[in-house]
């Protein structure tokens, strides 16, 4: 009780009548969190406190949104009761973030020289690959309690190629990527299963080894580390990386590359606030663009009431954002979003 009031006071939020204390928590437990179970009373209390922190962020956001200071809203979604440790599991750990940084700093853009000759001077003001795809994109997936964002983002970039250009809707095996790219480069500690990894390393390994990724239906996702369990062969159709590119883009170049090649994997710093994102154009003032710990896919862009945004696809289930998709402010180099971009071409 004390801590809740204390937190509310610290956050400068006007306190409600004590009789409504934890009303939101009870409501959340009865709805969004009805399937959550806790080990014991202490465990439940820990999660109730984590929820109160989320509640503060949501209330602050509501005020800021009403004043027109921000263009997005947060929600008490299924992440609302997660402790910081539980939220961290979804992201790359510190070792992976560091390894990623080192790897990126030695990377030269792989875009061919002639790429500059295809610049589209009449860039469309808005674009969404979902509207220009031959087949429907596969359903949004949920990486669960595993820092496998890089597997989901890189495999979705391949799935998008198949849908857009080949009229194939399929889900490619994220577990195969976890099992097969584990420690492919021990020097850099990339990739490390559920601890984190990099889209570029994934494309590189698949390309260099000529390995085809099987479909999820034959190689299911368990979200576990299964070190050195990469199978020599798999059943059913498989899909290979024919080529891949990566670049540290200006946002205009990212726009051009997106139009030219299809959806692009991008890194982002994922804060607790980002995990509670619901709708609108997300923006964070104090985002360290060097601290990238999550990977998502840019699938389009646009503008709303004079605010430019990217459309991104996440891998945190359909309850995050708008059915698993979100919008991120464009033109502000948001959280390092355009700094490391990559995209594959697929063959089968």
Contact residues: ligand NAG, CB under 6 A:
104, 134-135, 167, 248, 339-340
Task: Give strand pairing partners of 268.
Answer: 294
Nearer to ligand NAG, 26 or 134 (CB): 134
Catalytic residue among 146, 149, 266, 287: 149
- Least distance between ligand NAG and beta carbon 294 (Å): 15
Question: Of 194, 257, 314, 335, which residue is the catalytic one?
Answer: 314
CB of 287 to ligand NAG, least distance (A): 14
CB of 166 to ligand NAG, least distance (A): 9
d(CA 36, CA 9): 28
Asked if 241 and 206 count as a contact pair (C-beta separation under 8 A), the reply is yes
What is the distance in angstroms between the CA of the first residue and the CA of the last residue of the chain?
A: 59
149 labelled catalytic = yes
Give the Cα separation of 299 and 309 in Å (integer). Answer: 11
Q: Which residues touch 288 (CB under 8 Å, ≥6 apart)? A: 269, 335, 336
314 is catalytic: yes
Give the residue among 268, 259, 236 at the shortest CA–CA distance from 340: 268
- Residue 172 is given by DSSP the state B
Q: Which is nearer to ligand NAG, 176 or 203 (CB)?
A: 203
**How many angstroms separate the CA atoms of 336 and 36, rounded?**
34
Q: Would you say 73 and 158 are in contact if contact means Cβ atoms under 8 Å apart?
A: no
SS3 assignment, position 90: coil
Question: By C-beta, is 111 or 135 nearer to ligand NAG?
Answer: 135
Residue 143 or 153 with smaller CB distance to ligand NAG: 153
**Does residue 180 have an active-site annotation?**
no
Q: Is residue 21 classed exposed, middle or buried when 0-12, 13-18 and 19+ CB atoms within 10 A define those classes? A: middle
Closest CA to 34 of 25, 42, 43: 25
The distance of closest approach from Cβ of residue 267 to ligand NAG in the complex, given in angstroms and rounded to an integer, is: 9
DSSP secondary structure letter of residue 184: S
| Least distance from ligand NAG to the Cβ atom of residue 235, Å | 22
Give the total residue count for the chain. Answer: 348
- C-beta closer to ligand NAG: residue 77 or 340: 340
Task: Exactly one of 191, 287, 294, 335 is catalytic; name it.
Answer: 294
Give the residue with the Cβ less far from ligand NAG, 42 or 105. Answer: 105
Q: Are 237 and 219 in contact (CB under 8 A)?
A: no
Nearest distance, CB of residue 61 and ligand NAG, angstroms? 28
SS3 68: coil
d(Cα 241, Cα 346) in Å, to the nearest integer? 5
The set of catalytic residues is 149, 294, 314
């Amino acid at each position: 009780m004390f801590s809740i009031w204390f937190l509310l006071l610290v956050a400068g939020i006007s306190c409600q009548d004590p009789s409504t204390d934890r009303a939101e928590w009870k409501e959340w437990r009865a709805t969004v969190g009805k399937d959550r179970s806790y080990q014991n009373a202490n465990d439940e209390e820990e999660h109730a406190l984590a929820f109160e922190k989320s509640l503060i962020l949501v209330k602050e956001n509501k005020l800021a949104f009403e004043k027109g200071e921000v263009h997005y809203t947060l929600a008490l979604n299924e992440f609302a009761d997660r402790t910081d440790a539980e939220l961290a599991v979804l992201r790359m750990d510190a070792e992976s973030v560091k390894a990623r940084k080192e790897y990126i700093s030695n990377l030269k853009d792989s875009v061919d020289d002639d790429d500059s000759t295809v610049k589209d001077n009449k860039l469309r003001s808005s674009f969404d690959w979902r509207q220009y795809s031959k087949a429907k994109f596969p359903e949004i997936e949920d990486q669960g309690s595993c820092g496998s964002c890089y597997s989901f983002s890189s495999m979705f970039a391949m799935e998008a190629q198949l849908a857009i250009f080949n009229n194939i809707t399929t889900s490619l095996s994220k577990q195969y990527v976890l099992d097969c790219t584990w420690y492919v480069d021990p020097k850099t500690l990339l990739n490390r299963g559920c601890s984190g990894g990099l889209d570029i390393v994934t494309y590189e390994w698949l390309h260099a080894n000529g390995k085809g990724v099987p479909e999820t239906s034959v190689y299911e996702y368990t979200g576990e580390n299964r070190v050195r369990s990469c199978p020599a062969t798999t059943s059913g159709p498989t899909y290979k990386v024919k080529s891949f590119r990566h670049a540290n883009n200006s946002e205009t170049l990212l726009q051009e590359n997106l139009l030219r090649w299809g959806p692009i994997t991008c890194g982002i710093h994922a804060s607790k606030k980002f995990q509670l994102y619901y709708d609108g154009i997300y923006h964070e003032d104090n985002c360290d663009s060097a601290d990238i710990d999550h990977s998502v896919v840019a699938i389009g862009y646009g503008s709303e009431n004079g605010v430019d945004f990217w459309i991104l696809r996440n891998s945190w289930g359909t309850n995050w954002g708008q059915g698993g998709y979100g919008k991120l402010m464009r033109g502000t180099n948001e959280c390092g979003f355009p700094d490391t971009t990559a995209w594959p071409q697929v063959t089968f």
